[in-house]
Structure 1
């Protein structure tokens, strides 16, 4: 799930509520002075780094478009740089978790953002950042907006885990974010909440947040207000669109205002793939043209790569979801009908047995007051053949059950077996449950169907408090709660599968390579690029 869909659904719902309540009003515009402070003061000779995240872009679509000679800009960047088709995403493969990993260089066991929807034992409620229109209505527009706009960066993202913006500030470098979901930094900014949005919520007119030196968040925080006409109207999703982001980058380039590091989020492609499936490339062709306009803003593509390191990255892939007639939706409440399941928007009580938090093709299943063990609940779920894996932690071990079979695998950190990322593990029997290839002579393992599965699964199971299962669907299927959105015949993500976990990475303007091809390693790589000339 991505910011575009959150904002689109919230606008749709809030406008309906606004019409019903007769609440209208003009928007309050922010008065930001980001442009006075954004240019680097260090004067060091490193190139600028521009990281452009294209939501849900897949290497298959890039390769197909290049083969058809429809992606000249991406081909140019690949021909003049590095091209990785196997960058490993975070888990669950949902934007809030992935972006948290990207910006902190950690998995959820450290950054503490478990998914797009999850249950907080501390607050005794479900945290929802904007899963779908029906769930937003049931959970309440007010808490969903507050979670997405205030608490995600302010409270939920672990304060002890530094973001790249906070770390760059320590190095005396400047940074910027354009429509980034995770933006926590050290500089105060004001989000101006329009009156039509405040009407059905408890949000104040202004919200003070901390971000990088330059923070652009659609019309909520637009440092270019009054300087450049931007596509940030209500009909243009308040600036949460590709054109807004691209025009912002071009302005910074034209006016010599690029910070040392700039993160740019392009959201439009994800919505198209959810509707039409992952094989469609029309959206990628449009993005190629938008990228070309950014390169041209420097004067030419050659000059762009002389002055900046440009990185294009995806966040998650998508699996094709089978059409309606193939029964692609796994109804978890139906499978667990013998338990008292928390209704969306309700508060858990002593009578609540189970809480469901469905993240498309992955779900957290929380055990609250039932006396049944997690393994007992897993045994019920594993009878459903459309479910792929069910896992939980117990006595220091991670347990993984393969649906449709009696095979169970367990493992824990530290041991004699080492993976390609230098992580060591102690493994139990049946490692084929996670499709692990073990070399007993060298004490090494290789990941196949589930990239970096041991660490990513460990990260999700240790991402927050509570007794819970992690459940994922087989490819072609998705999980459903009581009102979670479905994508029959379209695309979905969330699980550990290769198709949803491997994303493309293009790096142009440097020959330096990242240590590992994982999203979680990009932060340290970018810091190395920017601080190398400082002797650090």
Structure 2
């Protein structure tokens, strides 16, 4: 029996309620079709922080940040001793420059930032003898050498300094920056007003064209980015028009087959979000970390000189933030915690003390300590022990099993974020409706935001169709393991 091919669609910031609405009212027919024909889940847990580079890295590697080493959208690189920013805001791009921003996102994220000792799904599948394709998904690392052809406007803005190969799968599409030889002559909506091809329509037209040309790979990852920006502007609970548009784009892919039923006979499909978003109020919703921590000498985006000249650097990731302690840990780290712990807008303040992890609730200062030990098992089968107040992460023990409510998979996700780097640091997660700010970081008052540990940012829907094979666990990192089981290593 011929093995089915696999197509995975990731819709950025897909909110479970919006997904429910559009699949139940008939306004998203292809999503409703796949949901009716397949297996549907409404509470799949994203990685932490719930930021796109971290979540997509978890999808591509099957691991949390402690393994893949991508700790957020804005973070401090221990190797370069500089701040990494993938272009969160126009102000950040102006400060860093187009060269550094594009280099970080297009080159460094895959070639340097993702742990080289962990393999992506493209690398594993191609080693197994399968063909693999990547359309606009930012975590593209594979075995084949590819030479990007950047648009002239980007090359000029980067002073013609961006050059060199990337390594991706056989079929690699990164907007108009990199086009698979199998798509020679393909034209989709591109240029500066269409994000140079990084849009839903370009992604799905490229995927459908591969199918029509008879070049469909065994696995094809198709990323639909538009809903993230729409949800930021309009709010995640108002994103129905954008998700309906995503549905129309996905229809173009299934329409490349003789029928939708035929598409299910030939392929296994997965449609899901990478993370969700939380509504943010219009006024007084921003935690100004740069002002709150003004007593510490702070390394900023363009600070010069050795990092050890500074006490801290602040990396806000919307509703999550990382405060790196660069020197005098014994006094600076407790000082940061003490300064922030009285603020009730902060849900969790988290840091490591040796092998143990401390968590304090902002405002109440309730405290929890947890560590790895075979005393209690959580719902994903991971063992822990703890002392203190579990309500800090909305946890409870029932029949010897750790359950988490509003902060799903809390212990594993907090631990993975803290274990992703060595530099001492304090992690912050905001209560619903609030965001963190410092140094040209993105904020979305009156719209939607993400990054935090809370379920509003962390829970996504997923639909699997064309297969009876379900996810091994309800986490975005398990999309990888589901794929590996559908396309196994050849038997010897």
Deviates more, 1:262-271 or 1:426-435: 426-435
**Distance in 1 between residues matched to 2:207 and 2:81, nearest whole Å:** 41
**Which of 343, 346, 352 matches 2:310?**
352
User: SS in structure 1 opposite 2:477?
Assistant: helix
Cα distance, 1:426–1:205 mapped onto 2, change above 3 Å:
closer
Q: 1:189 matched to which residue of 2? A: 146
Matches of 1:349 and 1:263 in 2, distance apart?
Answer: 38
Shift of 1:195: 3.5
Counterpart of 1:321 in structure 2 is 280
CA contact under 8 A between 2:320 and 2:430: conserved in structure 1?
Answer: yes
Moved over 6 A (4+): none
Query: Of the candidates 33, 36, 42, which is equivalent to residue 85 of structure 1?
Result: 42
1:406 counterpart (352, 360, 365): 365
Which of 189, 193, 197 is matched with 1:231 structurally?
189
Aligned to 1:499: 456
By how many angstroms is 1:203 displaced?
Answer: 5.2
Q: Cα distance 1:205–1:498, how it changes in 2: closer, same or farther (>3 A)?
A: closer
Residues 414/222 of structure 1: CA separation in 2 closer, same or farther (3 Å cut): same
Q: 1:406 to 1:418 in 2, by over 3 A?
A: same
Matched, 1:278 2:236: yes
Equivalent residue for 1:118? 75
Contact in 2 for aligned 1:54/1:313 (Cα 8 Å): yes
Q: Distance in 2 between matches of 1:243 and 1:194?
A: 19
Return the offset for 1:350.
Answer: 4.5
Cα 1:337–1:52 change in 2 (3 A) is same
Q: Which runs of 5+ in 1 are unaligned?
A: 1-43
How many angstroms apart in 1 are the aligned matches of 2:356 and 2:422?
A: 16
- From 14, 22, 28, the equivalent of 1:57 is 14
> In angstroms, what is the RMSD of aligned CA positions?
1.6
Q: Is the aligned partner of 1:366 residue 2:324?
A: yes
SS at match of 1:192: coil
Give the SS at the match of 1:262: strand
Alignment partner, residue 245 of structure 1? 203
Q: Report the TM-score, using the length of structure 2 for normalisation.
A: 0.96
CA distance in 1, matches of 2:162, 2:312: 37
- Determine if the alignment matches structure 1 residue 135 to structure 2 residue 92: yes
1:379 aligns with 338
**Contact 2:311–2:332 under 8 Å retained in 1:** no
User: Which residue does the alignment assign to 2:469?
Assistant: 512
Contact 2:183 2:209 in 1 (8 A): no
* Aligned counterparts of 1:394 and 1:274: Cα–Cα separation in 2: 36
Q: Which runs of 5+ in 2 are unaligned?
A: none
Distance in 2 of aligned mates of 1:139 and 1:383: 34
Cα distance, 1:353–1:285 mapped onto 2, change above 3 Å: same
Cα offsets for 1:276-332 (capped at 9, x unmatched): 1011111111111222222121111100100001110101110000012xx001100
**TM-score normalised by the chain length of structure 1:** 0.88
The CA deviation at 1:422 is 1.1
Q: Deviations over 1:410-459 (max 9, x none)?
A: 111132100111100111121111111112xx321111111111111111
Q: Is the 8 A contact 1:140 1:345 kept in 2?
A: no
1:419 equivalenced with 2:383 (yes/no)? no
What's the secondary structure of 1:428's corresponding residue? Answer: strand
CA, structure 1 residues 531+241, in 2 after alignment: closer, same or farther (shift >3 Å)? same
CA distance in 2, matches of 1:304, 1:419: 38
- Provide the secondary structure at the position in 2 that maps to 1:526: helix
Q: Deviations over 1:360-400 (max 9, x none)?
A: 00000011234524233112101122111100001210100
Q: 1:108, CA displacement in angstroms?
A: 0.6
In 1, distance between residues paired with 2:362 and 2:162?
A: 50
Distance 2:115 2:89 in 1: 25
1:100-119 to structure 2, matched below 5 A, reads 100-119=57-76
Shift in alpha-carbon separation, 1:397–1:252, aligned structure 2, 3 A? same
Cα distance in structure 2, aligned partners of 1:203 and 1:167: 34
| Contact 1:355/1:367, CA 8 A, preserved across alignment | yes
Match of 2:119 among 148, 158, 162: 162
> C-alpha separation between the residues in 1 aligned to 2:469 and 2:184?
39
**Structure 2 CA distance, aligned partners of 1:419 and 1:518?**
14
Is the 8 Å Cα contact of residues 344 and 363 (structure 2) preserved in structure 1?
yes
User: Which secondary structure state, in structure 1, belongs to the residue aligned with residue 167 of structure 2?
Assistant: strand
CA contact (8 A) 2:15 2:237 kept: no
Q: Give the 3-state SS of the residue equivalent to 1:207 in structure 2.
A: coil
Counterpart contact for 1:194–1:205, Cα < 8 Å: no
Q: Does 2:351 match 1:392?
A: yes
Partner residue in 2 for 1:38: none
* CA deviations over 1:9-38 (Å, ceiling 9, x no partner): xxxxxxxxxxxxxxxxxxxxxxxxxxxxxx
Within-5 A mapping of 1:2-41: none
Whether the 8 Å contact between 1:53 and 1:266 is mirrored in structure 2 is yes
SS at match of 1:185: coil
Q: Deviations over 1:84-109 (max 9, x none)?
A: 01111011000100111100111111
* Residue aligning to 2:220: 262
Q: Secondary structure at the match of 1:519?
A: coil
**Residues in 2 aligned to 1:279 and 1:249: alpha-carbon distance in whole angstroms:** 28
Question: Is 2:432 the partner of 1:432?
Answer: no
State how far apart, in whole Å, the 1-side matches of 2:93 and 2:422 are.
24
CA–CA separation in structure 2 for the residues paired with 1:285 and 1:232: 21
Q: 1:119 deviation in Å?
A: 0.7
The separation in 2 between residues aligned to 1:506 and 1:431, in whole angstroms, is 32
Q: Does 1:76 align with 2:33?
A: yes
